[in-house]
Amino acid sequence: MFVVGGESLVDLVPAKPGPAAERQPVAGGSPFNCAIALAKLGNTTGFLCPISTDEFGDMLLAPLAAAGVDLLIKQRVDAPTTKAIVTFNEKMQASYVFERGAERAFTKEGLVAALPGGVTLLQLGGFVPIEPEDAAAWLAVAGKAIVGGATISMDINVRPLLVQDEKTYRDQLSQLLDLAHVIKLSDEDHDWLEPGMSIEAHAQALLARPNCELVVVTLGEEGSLAFTKATTAKAPIYSPPVFVDTVGAGDSLMAGVLTALAEKQALTPGRLGTLNEAALVSVLRFGAVVAGINCGRKGCQPPTRAEVDAVLAKG
Protein backbone atom coordinates (compact mmCIF):
# COMPACT_ATOMS: atom_id res chain seq x y z
CA MET A 1 0.00 0.00 0.00
CA PHE A 2 0.99 3.60 -0.69
CA VAL A 3 0.13 5.89 2.23
CA VAL A 4 -0.09 9.67 1.93
CA GLY A 5 0.06 11.70 5.13
CA GLY A 6 -0.80 15.37 5.58
CA GLU A 7 -3.59 17.86 5.18
CA SER A 8 -6.99 17.82 3.58
CA LEU A 9 -8.93 21.06 3.26
CA VAL A 10 -11.55 22.93 1.31
CA ASP A 11 -10.40 25.44 -1.30
CA LEU A 12 -12.70 28.46 -1.49
CA VAL A 13 -12.31 29.27 -5.18
CA PRO A 14 -13.63 32.33 -7.05
CA ALA A 15 -16.62 31.30 -9.15
CA LYS A 16 -15.61 33.89 -11.78
CA PRO A 17 -12.80 36.43 -12.30
CA GLY A 18 -12.72 39.53 -10.12
CA PRO A 19 -11.82 40.46 -6.53
CA ALA A 20 -15.44 40.47 -5.31
CA ALA A 21 -16.44 37.18 -6.93
CA GLU A 22 -18.45 34.69 -4.92
CA ARG A 23 -16.40 31.70 -3.79
CA GLN A 24 -17.34 28.08 -4.13
CA PRO A 25 -15.90 25.25 -1.99
CA VAL A 26 -13.75 22.61 -3.67
CA ALA A 27 -12.15 19.65 -1.91
CA GLY A 28 -8.35 19.95 -1.83
CA GLY A 29 -5.05 19.94 0.03
CA SER A 30 -1.76 18.78 -1.47
CA PRO A 31 -1.55 15.34 0.25
CA PHE A 32 -5.31 14.83 -0.25
CA ASN A 33 -4.91 15.53 -3.97
CA CYS A 34 -1.89 13.23 -4.24
CA ALA A 35 -3.71 10.36 -2.52
CA ILE A 36 -6.62 10.62 -4.95
CA ALA A 37 -4.27 10.87 -7.94
CA LEU A 38 -2.33 7.78 -6.81
CA ALA A 39 -5.52 5.76 -6.41
CA LYS A 40 -6.91 6.85 -9.79
CA LEU A 41 -3.65 5.70 -11.38
CA GLY A 42 -4.29 2.21 -10.04
CA ASN A 43 -2.32 2.17 -6.79
CA THR A 44 -3.70 0.77 -3.53
CA THR A 45 -3.65 3.96 -1.47
CA GLY A 46 -4.38 5.01 2.11
CA PHE A 47 -4.80 8.57 3.37
CA LEU A 48 -3.62 9.47 6.87
CA CYS A 49 -5.51 12.59 7.99
CA PRO A 50 -8.43 13.35 10.34
CA ILE A 51 -11.68 14.40 8.67
CA SER A 52 -14.18 16.78 10.28
CA THR A 53 -17.79 15.95 11.10
CA ASP A 54 -18.90 19.18 9.41
CA GLU A 55 -20.43 19.46 5.94
CA PHE A 56 -17.06 20.22 4.38
CA GLY A 57 -15.80 16.97 5.88
CA ASP A 58 -18.57 15.20 3.97
CA MET A 59 -17.34 16.99 0.85
CA LEU A 60 -13.80 15.66 1.42
CA LEU A 61 -14.93 12.08 1.95
CA ALA A 62 -16.77 11.88 -1.38
CA PRO A 63 -13.80 12.09 -3.80
CA LEU A 64 -11.68 9.88 -1.54
CA ALA A 65 -14.36 7.21 -1.67
CA ALA A 66 -14.90 7.66 -5.42
CA ALA A 67 -11.19 7.13 -6.08
CA GLY A 68 -11.03 4.11 -3.78
CA VAL A 69 -8.71 5.69 -1.19
CA ASP A 70 -8.70 3.95 2.19
CA LEU A 71 -9.30 6.48 4.99
CA LEU A 72 -6.88 5.31 7.69
CA ILE A 73 -8.28 7.45 10.54
CA LYS A 74 -11.85 6.17 10.76
CA GLN A 75 -13.14 8.34 13.61
CA ARG A 76 -14.15 11.81 12.42
CA VAL A 77 -13.28 14.85 14.53
CA ASP A 78 -15.27 17.85 15.77
CA ALA A 79 -12.76 20.49 14.66
CA PRO A 80 -13.87 22.46 11.58
CA THR A 81 -12.43 21.57 8.19
CA THR A 82 -9.33 23.54 7.25
CA LYS A 83 -10.01 26.18 4.58
CA ALA A 84 -7.83 27.72 1.88
CA ILE A 85 -8.96 30.99 0.29
CA VAL A 86 -7.74 30.81 -3.29
CA THR A 87 -6.89 33.62 -5.68
CA PHE A 88 -5.48 33.40 -9.22
CA ASN A 89 -3.00 35.59 -11.08
CA GLU A 90 -3.22 36.45 -14.77
CA LYS A 91 -1.70 33.04 -15.67
CA MET A 92 -4.34 31.28 -13.54
CA GLN A 93 -1.67 30.22 -11.06
CA ALA A 94 -3.13 29.80 -7.59
CA SER A 95 -2.13 31.41 -4.28
CA TYR A 96 -3.67 30.65 -0.89
CA VAL A 97 -4.58 32.02 2.56
CA PHE A 98 -5.27 29.30 5.13
CA GLU A 99 -7.54 28.77 8.16
CA ARG A 100 -6.37 25.54 9.78
CA GLY A 101 -8.60 23.07 11.63
CA ALA A 102 -9.43 19.36 11.48
CA GLU A 103 -6.29 18.24 9.63
CA ARG A 104 -4.33 19.02 12.82
CA ALA A 105 -6.73 17.24 15.18
CA PHE A 106 -4.48 14.27 15.87
CA THR A 107 -2.02 12.95 18.44
CA LYS A 108 1.35 11.37 17.73
CA GLU A 109 0.15 8.11 19.23
CA GLY A 110 -3.01 8.17 17.13
CA LEU A 111 -1.16 8.79 13.88
CA VAL A 112 1.39 6.06 14.54
CA ALA A 113 -1.34 3.58 15.49
CA ALA A 114 -3.30 4.37 12.31
CA LEU A 115 -0.37 3.56 10.00
CA PRO A 116 -0.99 0.00 8.79
CA GLY A 117 1.58 -2.70 8.26
CA GLY A 118 2.81 -3.53 4.79
CA VAL A 119 3.32 0.06 3.67
CA THR A 120 5.62 0.20 0.65
CA LEU A 121 5.62 4.00 0.33
CA LEU A 122 4.93 6.83 2.77
CA GLN A 123 4.43 10.17 1.01
CA LEU A 124 4.53 13.29 3.20
CA GLY A 125 4.40 17.00 2.43
CA GLY A 126 2.47 20.22 2.63
CA PHE A 127 1.81 21.38 6.18
CA VAL A 128 3.61 18.44 7.86
CA PRO A 129 6.81 20.32 8.93
CA ILE A 130 5.19 23.61 10.00
CA GLU A 131 4.21 23.18 13.67
CA PRO A 132 6.65 21.57 16.14
CA GLU A 133 4.14 19.13 17.66
CA ASP A 134 2.88 18.15 14.20
CA ALA A 135 6.38 17.62 12.84
CA ALA A 136 7.26 15.42 15.84
CA ALA A 137 4.20 13.27 15.19
CA TRP A 138 4.96 12.86 11.49
CA LEU A 139 8.60 12.05 12.23
CA ALA A 140 7.34 9.22 14.45
CA VAL A 141 5.07 7.98 11.66
CA ALA A 142 7.97 8.05 9.19
CA GLY A 143 10.15 6.18 11.68
CA LYS A 144 7.56 3.39 11.98
CA ALA A 145 7.23 3.21 8.19
CA ILE A 146 11.00 2.94 7.73
CA VAL A 147 11.23 0.12 10.28
CA GLY A 148 8.60 -1.67 8.20
CA GLY A 149 10.69 -1.27 5.04
CA ALA A 150 8.82 1.61 3.39
CA THR A 151 10.27 4.10 0.96
CA ILE A 152 9.79 7.69 2.14
CA SER A 153 8.95 10.47 -0.30
CA MET A 154 8.60 14.15 0.54
CA ASP A 155 6.92 16.94 -1.44
CA ILE A 156 8.36 20.06 0.20
CA ASN A 157 5.58 22.43 -0.97
CA VAL A 158 6.54 25.43 1.18
CA ARG A 159 3.65 27.56 2.46
CA PRO A 160 5.39 30.80 3.54
CA LEU A 161 2.20 32.42 4.85
CA LEU A 162 1.87 29.65 7.44
CA VAL A 163 5.51 29.77 8.59
CA GLN A 164 5.63 31.89 11.75
CA ASP A 165 9.10 30.78 12.89
CA GLU A 166 11.35 30.24 9.89
CA LYS A 167 14.25 28.70 11.80
CA THR A 168 12.00 26.15 13.50
CA TYR A 169 10.33 25.34 10.20
CA ARG A 170 13.65 24.84 8.45
CA ASP A 171 14.93 22.62 11.28
CA GLN A 172 11.80 20.46 11.22
CA LEU A 173 11.80 20.24 7.43
CA SER A 174 15.47 19.24 7.53
CA GLN A 175 14.75 16.36 9.92
CA LEU A 176 12.06 15.04 7.58
CA LEU A 177 14.25 15.47 4.50
CA ASP A 178 16.97 13.41 6.19
CA LEU A 179 14.54 10.47 6.17
CA ALA A 180 13.35 10.88 2.57
CA HIS A 181 14.50 8.71 -0.34
CA VAL A 182 12.62 10.83 -2.91
CA ILE A 183 12.32 14.62 -2.60
CA LYS A 184 10.18 16.83 -4.82
CA LEU A 185 10.14 20.61 -4.84
CA SER A 186 9.07 23.38 -7.18
CA ASP A 187 11.26 26.19 -8.47
CA GLU A 188 9.28 28.47 -6.11
CA ASP A 189 10.14 26.19 -3.15
CA HIS A 190 13.77 26.34 -4.25
CA ASP A 191 13.79 30.14 -4.44
CA TRP A 192 12.38 30.41 -0.90
CA LEU A 193 14.62 27.75 0.62
CA GLU A 194 17.90 28.53 -1.14
CA PRO A 195 17.83 32.00 -2.73
CA GLY A 196 20.97 32.62 -4.74
CA MET A 197 21.81 28.92 -5.11
CA SER A 198 21.37 27.19 -8.44
CA ILE A 199 18.75 24.46 -8.71
CA GLU A 200 21.50 22.02 -9.66
CA ALA A 201 23.51 22.82 -6.53
CA HIS A 202 20.40 22.58 -4.36
CA ALA A 203 19.58 19.17 -5.84
CA GLN A 204 23.09 17.92 -5.12
CA ALA A 205 22.83 19.19 -1.55
CA LEU A 206 19.58 17.25 -1.11
CA LEU A 207 21.19 14.14 -2.62
CA ALA A 208 23.96 14.46 -0.02
CA ARG A 209 21.44 13.88 2.78
CA PRO A 210 21.51 10.47 4.48
CA ASN A 211 18.83 8.69 2.43
CA CYS A 212 17.98 10.80 -0.63
CA GLU A 213 18.47 9.06 -4.00
CA LEU A 214 16.20 11.06 -6.30
CA VAL A 215 15.27 14.76 -6.48
CA VAL A 216 12.49 16.03 -8.75
CA VAL A 217 12.12 19.76 -9.43
CA THR A 218 9.11 21.25 -11.21
CA LEU A 219 9.69 24.39 -13.27
CA GLY A 220 6.16 25.48 -14.14
CA GLU A 221 5.83 26.01 -17.88
CA GLU A 222 9.47 24.96 -18.35
CA GLY A 223 8.82 21.32 -17.43
CA SER A 224 10.58 19.26 -14.78
CA LEU A 225 14.02 18.00 -13.81
CA ALA A 226 15.21 14.81 -12.12
CA PHE A 227 18.55 14.38 -10.37
CA THR A 228 20.37 11.35 -9.03
CA LYS A 229 24.00 11.14 -8.00
CA ALA A 230 24.73 9.57 -11.39
CA THR A 231 22.66 11.54 -13.89
CA THR A 232 20.19 14.31 -14.67
CA ALA A 233 17.08 14.34 -16.87
CA LYS A 234 14.59 16.92 -18.11
CA ALA A 235 11.12 16.64 -19.62
CA PRO A 236 8.67 19.25 -20.95
CA ILE A 237 5.14 19.80 -19.70
CA TYR A 238 2.18 18.16 -21.37
CA SER A 239 -0.22 20.87 -22.56
CA PRO A 240 -3.90 19.81 -22.50
CA PRO A 241 -6.11 20.75 -25.46
CA VAL A 242 -7.76 23.43 -23.28
CA PHE A 243 -5.86 24.89 -20.31
CA VAL A 244 -7.99 25.79 -17.26
CA ASP A 245 -5.79 26.20 -14.14
CA THR A 246 -2.83 24.74 -12.25
CA VAL A 247 -4.61 23.67 -9.04
CA GLY A 248 -3.18 20.31 -7.98
CA ALA A 249 -0.72 20.11 -10.88
CA GLY A 250 2.30 19.44 -8.67
CA ASP A 251 0.37 16.89 -6.60
CA SER A 252 -0.72 15.09 -9.75
CA LEU A 253 2.81 15.11 -11.14
CA MET A 254 4.13 13.65 -7.88
CA ALA A 255 1.57 10.84 -8.04
CA GLY A 256 2.59 10.15 -11.63
CA VAL A 257 6.29 10.07 -10.80
CA LEU A 258 5.76 7.67 -7.89
CA THR A 259 3.56 5.43 -10.04
CA ALA A 260 6.09 5.31 -12.86
CA LEU A 261 8.93 4.56 -10.44
CA ALA A 262 6.97 1.70 -8.90
CA GLU A 263 6.23 0.23 -12.32
CA LYS A 264 9.93 0.31 -13.13
CA GLN A 265 10.58 -1.63 -9.90
CA ALA A 266 12.65 1.35 -8.80
CA LEU A 267 10.62 2.71 -5.87
CA THR A 268 12.92 0.99 -3.40
CA PRO A 269 15.93 2.30 -1.47
CA GLY A 270 19.04 1.32 -3.36
CA ARG A 271 17.30 1.26 -6.74
CA LEU A 272 16.08 4.84 -7.11
CA GLY A 273 19.55 6.10 -7.90
CA THR A 274 20.23 3.44 -10.54
CA LEU A 275 17.87 4.76 -13.23
CA ASN A 276 19.58 6.06 -16.35
CA GLU A 277 18.68 9.30 -18.11
CA ALA A 278 16.21 7.69 -20.52
CA ALA A 279 14.35 5.98 -17.67
CA LEU A 280 14.18 9.23 -15.70
CA VAL A 281 12.85 11.09 -18.75
CA SER A 282 10.06 8.52 -19.10
CA VAL A 283 9.24 8.89 -15.39
CA LEU A 284 9.03 12.68 -15.75
CA ARG A 285 7.00 12.34 -18.94
CA PHE A 286 4.45 10.14 -17.20
CA GLY A 287 4.18 12.66 -14.37
CA ALA A 288 3.86 15.54 -16.83
CA VAL A 289 0.94 13.88 -18.60
CA VAL A 290 -0.86 13.26 -15.31
CA ALA A 291 -0.34 16.92 -14.34
CA GLY A 292 -1.23 18.25 -17.79
CA ILE A 293 -4.54 16.41 -18.00
CA ASN A 294 -5.38 17.78 -14.55
CA CYS A 295 -4.62 21.32 -15.77
CA GLY A 296 -7.33 20.92 -18.39
CA ARG A 297 -9.95 20.78 -15.62
CA LYS A 298 -11.19 23.26 -13.02
CA GLY A 299 -9.56 22.59 -9.67
CA CYS A 300 -7.74 19.35 -8.90
CA GLN A 301 -9.33 16.49 -10.83
CA PRO A 302 -6.53 13.97 -11.50
CA PRO A 303 -6.91 11.64 -14.47
CA THR A 304 -7.49 7.91 -14.49
CA ARG A 305 -4.80 5.55 -15.67
CA ALA A 306 -6.73 4.95 -18.89
CA GLU A 307 -6.72 8.67 -19.66
CA VAL A 308 -2.97 8.88 -19.11
CA ASP A 309 -2.31 5.80 -21.25
CA ALA A 310 -4.42 7.25 -24.05
CA VAL A 311 -2.23 10.37 -24.20
CA LEU A 312 1.01 8.41 -23.95
CA ALA A 313 -0.09 6.10 -26.75
CA LYS A 314 -0.16 9.09 -29.09
CA GLY A 315 3.57 9.60 -28.54
Sorted by where each begins, the domain ranges of the chain are 2-6+26-74+105-313
pLDDT at position 240 over 70: yes
Instruction: Provide the pairing of β-strand 214-218 with 224-227.
Output: antiparallel
CA 285, CA 294: separation in Å to the nearest integer?
Answer: 14
Model pTM score: 0.94
Tell me which residue of 293, 8, 267 sits closest to 125, measured CA to CA.
Answer: 8
pLDDT at position 19 over 70: no
Tell me which residue of 173, 187, 183, 271 sits closest to 221, measured CA to CA.
Answer: 187
pLDDT band at 18 (very low <50, low <70, confident <90, very high): low
pLDDT of residue 92: 65
pLDDT of residue 85: 84
Range 2-6+26-74+105-313: architecture per CATH: 3-Layer(aba) Sandwich (3.40)
pLDDT at position 183 over 80: yes
CA 103, CA 85: separation in Å to the nearest integer?
Answer: 16
* pLDDT greater at residue 65 or residue 299: 65
Tell me which residue of 253, 30, 249 sits closest to 157, measured CA to CA.
Answer: 30
pLDDT in tens, 25-64: 989 999 999 999 999 999 999 999 999 999 999 999 999 9
pLDDT in tens, 128-148: 999 999 999 999 999 999 999
**Average pLDDT estimate for 165-191:** 98
How far the first Cα of the chain sits from its last, in Å, is 30
